Structure 1
Amino acid sequence: MQEQFDVTAHNYDFVFKDSFNLFKNDIGDFLKVELPGIDSYLETEFAEIETNTERMDLNFKLEDGSILHLEEEIEVSVDDLIRFASYDLKLYNRYRDRIRTIILCIKGYPASEAAFDAGSLGYNTIVVNMSDKDGKEKLKELKEKIEKKEKINYLDLIFLPLMKSDQKMVKRVKETIELEKKLEIEKNLKNNIVALTFVLCDKFLSKQEISEIWRDYKMVKILKYAEEQGKIEGKIEGKQEEARLILMRQIKAKFGDTDNEIIALINEAELNKIEDLSEKIVTTNSKAELIDFLKH
């Protein structure tokens, strides 16, 4: 059974990459937080964060260039904030863009913000109190809308198990999946919604509970599509990363240390742009020329 648990951990990013449009369309309405639109999904894995328990939950690139970092916690402690801050520093080191961190707190938090002040380093987050959302009432509402074939916010379904309830988490997850199975939508979309519900709740479940859900709902089959998509995307991303590293070495060899603006532009550039620049760098005489080429 352990091999099955590993599929969820290894393919976490694949599930969200394939389903990020669900968040792009509905995240603002669900969170009730003013945000720019979502532009793309960002990976959650870093070399320095190796275990499933230390995985960042969700990251999105927003239309204004900033990054949305979403975390889910039962309660919020200073230790949690320090951990999230360390993730955000890794994100900032890689992308050099503003980070917006939002915490979905299951048991609630006394303020709309959670922060700490370490002197030269300050950290601020927004807290969305999931205990303000009545899971029982939301379940009833969603059932009625699905029966009437009315439009729903799919994120209300995906995050339903995290809302206020007197039931155990495993029962909430099972009830939600049962409801999701009744959706009259395209099969891959339905599978993605079920998979998202599962992977977003797995850290709040015991191994035995995960095993029950995995067995009862055939999660291996449901995640297969996202896994295959992830393998294809992974090959493309691997080639892009290799091309970026080669280009960075070329720039360093010709101009010395690479500045932050060039690093950011290379990280955002498509593969064909990187490959073109690798050829053009032979005749490029200044960093300004590099920046101009990457921007246009």
Structure 2
Amino acid sequence: MQQFDVTAHNYDFVFKDSFSLFKNDIGDFLKVELPGIDSYLETEFAEIETSAERMDLNFKLEDGSILHLEEEIEVSVDDLIRFASYDLKLYNRYRDKIRTIILCIKGYPAAEATFNAGSLGYNTIVVNMSDKDGKEKMKELREKIEKGEEINYLELIFLPLMNSDQDMVKRVKETIELEKQLEVEQNLKNNIVALTFVLCDKLLSDQEISEIWRDYKMVRIFKYAEEQGKKKGKDEGKQEEARMLMIRQIKAKFGNADNEIIDLINKSELSKIEDLSEKIVTVDSKEEIIDFLKH
């Protein structure tokens, strides 16, 4: 089965390359009031290596908080404890507020799932996927696609998780067949198919995963996603190197770099950092650097 495994690496490659789909459509799909999505956060932690223990999705929001999305067939206290342990790892790494939303396939009796461990309390929001009629949504999306009308791609990607009398593998296959009819560029179509697959990965048996992987040439789709991810990784590496060099220059000139300066540098585009590297020789104070980075 190992050859068909969706690893944390290609999982992240897919989501990095498809981030705009979530940025544009996630609010309408979840029907939950949230700040806008700013960026995608990788799901991989050294302590979490298996598909069954992998966090599903993490996004940095525009207010600085983190959106953690999980999907489960049913929600138990054990699940909540597991999600809480993920959130503590996220908090330990980023020190930002965490918002956890669970997509529950079989439904949940309350809008929130919580537990109280005395000194530690945990709260999540539950989106009841059983309230969404998968067959009706499939019919609606098929009609829109055939007419060339705009759709919310997340409704298509999460379609197999909606309420249906079909088994999961049939839902996934029918959804992928519909996605193949999209009149969009091939790269976007590949991403939509790959997202549908990875989001249902932990809900399918090994045999079902192998069948879908083979029938829909997932190796080719993930190979493309990996190549795109590596390209973006090189670009991000170049930016990170420029930022670190800039911080060292500031420390060399002023003795240290304030947290505000470091934060502004980390948020700046590469072109802004390059401009600052030329200007730094004539700068007399850290206030000038802050002003330059802000404007």
Q: Same fold (TM over 0.5)?
A: yes
- Residue 75 of structure 2 aligns to a residue whose secondary structure is coil
CA distance in 2, matches of 1:62, 1:70: 13
**Structure 1 residues 224 and 91: alpha-carbon distance in aligned structure 2, compared to 1, 3 A threshold:** same
Q: Which one-letter code corresponds to 2:232 in the other structure?
A: E
- CA–CA distance in structure 2, aligned partners of residues 91 and 172 of structure 1: 32
> Corresponding residue for 1:192?
191
1:3 equivalent in structure 2: 3
Specify whether residues 207 and 123 from structure 1 end up closer, same or farther in structure 2 by C-alpha distance, changes over 3 A only.
same
Is the CA contact (8 Å cut-off) linking 1:269 and 1:294 kept in structure 2?
A: yes
Deviation sequence 1:134-177 (CA, Å, 0-9, x none): 11111111111111212111111100000011111001000000
8 Å contact kept, 1:95–1:264? no
1:110 match: 109
Structure-1 separation of matches of 2:117 and 2:109: 21
Q: Is the 8 A contact 2:108 2:126 kept in 1?
A: yes
Q: Any unmatched runs of 5+ in structure 1?
A: none
* Stretch of structure 1 that moved more, 87-96 or 13-22: 87-96
- Contact 1:161/1:176 (8 A) holds in 2: yes
Report the Cα distance in structure 2 between the residues aligned to 1:60 and 1:16, rounded to whole angstroms. 10
Question: Does the C-alpha gap of structure 1 residues 94 and 176 become closer, same or farther in structure 2, counting only changes over 3 Å?
Answer: same
Counterpart amino acid of residue 212 in structure 1: E
Q: Which residue number in structure 1 is paired with residue 62 of structure 2?
A: 63
What does residue 27 of structure 2 align with?
28
Given that residues 14 and 195 in structure 2 are in contact (C-alpha distance below 8 angstroms), is that contact kept between their aligned partners in structure 1? yes
TM-score, structure 2 as length reference: 0.84
Q: Deviations over 1:3-32 (max 9, x none)?
A: 3425x5421111111111111111111111
Q: Give the whole-Å Cα distance in 2 for the aligned partners of 1:176 and 1:213.
A: 12
Unmatched tracts of structure 2, length 5 or more: none
Are the counterparts in 2 of residues 15 and 227 from structure 1 also a CA contact under 8 Å? yes
Q: Give me the whole-angstrom Cα distance separating, in 2, the residues matched to 1:46 and 1:261.
A: 28
Post-superposition shift, 1:244?
Answer: 7.4
8 Å contact from structure 2 (residues 65, 98) kept in 1: yes
Which range moves more in the overlay, 80-89 or 239-248?
A: 239-248
Alpha-carbon offset, residue 235 of structure 1: 3.1
Residues 204-283 of structure 1 mapped to structure 2, 5 A cutoff: 204-238=203-237, 268=267
CA 115–264 in structure 1, closer or farther in 2 if over 3 Å, else same: farther
Give the number of aligned pairs. Answer: 291
Specify the alignment match of 1:203 in structure 2.
Answer: 202
**2:175 is the alignment partner of 1:180:** no
CA contact (8 A) 1:95 1:267 kept: no
- Per the alignment, in what secondary structure is the counterpart of residue 11 of structure 1? helix
Amino acid at match of 1:214: W
Name the stretch that deviates more: 43-52 or 17-26.
Answer: 43-52
Q: Distance in 2 between matches of 1:87 and 1:291?
A: 35
Post-superposition offset of 1:238 = 4.7
Q: Secondary structure at the match of 2:18?
A: helix
Given residue 109 of structure 2, which amino acid in structure 1 is its aligned partner? P
Counterpart of 2:160, as a letter, is: P
Give the CA deviation at 1:224.
2.2
Superposed CA deviations along residues 95-130 of structure 1, whole A, max 9, x for unmatched, are 222211100001111100011112222111100000
Corresponding letter in the other structure for 2:194: A
Distance in 2, Cα, partners of 1:59 & 1:93: 14
Change (3 A) 1:240 1:80: farther
Amino acid at match of 1:22: L
Change (3 A) 1:205 1:284: farther
RMSD (Å), alpha carbons: 3.1
State the percentage of identical aligned residues.
82
Shift of 1:52: 2.2
Contact 1:158 1:193 in 2 (8 A): yes
Mark the CA change 1:79 to 1:290 in structure 2 (over 3 Å): closer, same or farther: farther
